Amino acid sequence: MNATGKSGSKNAKVAVALVSVVFGMVGLSFAAVPLYDLFCRVTGFGGTTQVAEAMPEQVGARQITVRFDAMVDEKLPWDFAPEERSVTLVAGEPGLVFYNAENTADGATVGTAVFNVTPAKAGRYFHKVQCFCFEEQELAQGEATRMGVSFFVDPEIEEDPATADVTTITLSYTFFRDLEDWERQLEREAQQVSKAAPASDPAAAPQSAALLGQ
């Protein structure tokens, strides 16, 4: 085999290796998402709340004000807001609030909510019993929906020196457009633009060719 052949074979092997590395990194990135989410749920890291199946049997003594925020990504044409901006309860006391969402688009849209709490150190003590997060919500044109959140603050927050100063917790929800729904809208818009584009005049083609020949 000549030098050129050896060089080409070597380059091919390098290319295959690089492609394998890229695909491996992509695979790890997708795998990291659920693992990171699981870590946050277990530890409360980054303000991730906990999930409980039932309310606690005992309540604490500290009063805590829970504030509610609502945000919507610009790609999702929804109005989204809590019915109450805040509630005050003692640790361990059950809380129930509602959020309202309305689709203002000229067609059906799909959204999914994510959440977080601040301060982040209170995340491990904020428990949701029922929530609408991470569930696809499809709303028809002009449709509105009312979504409830059932929660409590774990009384153990009073035993943690790191949260001794926590008397206010903010629960934030952000609705994002479902990716597949967004891609379908882009396809519809592209089709509309294609249909609206002026069609070429077949009779003009021979004239253009004659002008080019002069």
Give tens-digit pLDDT for 124-152.
999 998 889 888 999 999 999 999 999 99
Question: Are the C-beta atoms of 80 and 100 separated by less than 8 Å?
Answer: yes
Most confident of 34-48, 52-66, 80-94: 80-94
**CA distance from start to end of the chain:** 56
pTM summary value: 0.66
Residue 123 clears pLDDT 80, i.e. is over it: yes
Structure tokens at 94: 């059950």
pLDDT digits (tens, 9 = 90+) for 79-112: 999 999 999 999 999 999 999 999 999 999 999 9
Categorize the per-residue pLDDT at 55 as very low, low, confident or very high, splitting at 50, 70 and 90: low
pLDDT of residue 192: 80
pLDDT of residue 20: 45
Q: How many CB atoms lie within 10 A of CB 197?
A: 8
Rounded CA-CA distance 37/163 in Å is 23
